[in-house]
Structure 1
């Protein structure tokens, strides 16, 4: 098992969660790829996206079926501007590559926000530190594990 995935397993175990990291042969770099590899809905993929809110990194855990409306998010969290982080920013903030960013296991705490849309799915799948590893987790467990603040990332239709 990759050291990043092993670290995620340790964090899950320390939190009393019985989820297992799965290493897949297919890429889970995008939500669509992960859903196909796992045989689940794209919306059940908890994508970990790094943005810069007023030039500081934040982590947004969003449903794989959503695109983050950065203006809406900025209003909810009190930021003047939110921009997508570069690959280097992502690696600096999380210690993990784009496409494999886990919701936990970062060198320093990253302010984290969670898409309330994820509540609609019984089981969620999140990256486990590499573009080929994932773990299963319930919404309430993900919320507790990350200490995330609930937000809407898309306007309701």
Structure 2
């Protein structure tokens, strides 16, 4: 199972036991926020886009949306999301459980969006549609192996805490 792969991956930081598994789905931002009893903006959603012969994963705040102009300026191409089949092929995770951890495909680049930085703790999925873990933004950045922080989102409230 994909969650087991994430659990094994997170062992290197000794936090594998902090993964939360729910009896209900956490496959969407709203469902994850309900399961965790947090505002939706604190959910760290992982979005996947086509990029040359690979893909780009961008971890954003739950209330953020990709700004096509910013994305094109950052990556030099139009934002085009992967199909569910491509997501599974590149990341090893199904939609609803996609996370930036334990990505074994060298054609995948992970980035973290600044929309997350307004929070002390955010909650990415852990490989299944009913899991999450609470991490600081610095931990998320480190554990995901992100290339860098980027600014490619819109519609998020900078003042929201």
TM-score w.r.t. the length of structure 2 is 0.87
1:63 deviation in Å? 0.4
* Residues 25 and 18 of structure 1, relative CA distance in 2, 3 Å threshold: closer
1:1-157 aligned within 5 A: 3-17=1-15, 20-54=18-52, 56-77=54-75, 79-109=76-106, 110-148=108-146, 149-155=148-154
1:155 deviation in Å? 4.4
C-alpha distance in 2 between matches for 1:64 and 1:84: 17
- In the alignment, structure 2 segments of 5+ residues that lack a partner are none
1:81 deviation in Å? 2.2
C-alpha distance in 1 between matches for 2:18 and 2:154: 34
TM-score w.r.t. the length of structure 1 is 0.89
1:66 deviation in Å? 0.6
C-alpha distance in 1 between matches for 2:77 and 2:16: 39
* Residues 53 and 70 of structure 1, relative CA distance in 2, 3 Å threshold: farther
- In the alignment, structure 1 segments of 5+ residues that lack a partner are none
1:28 deviation in Å? 1.0
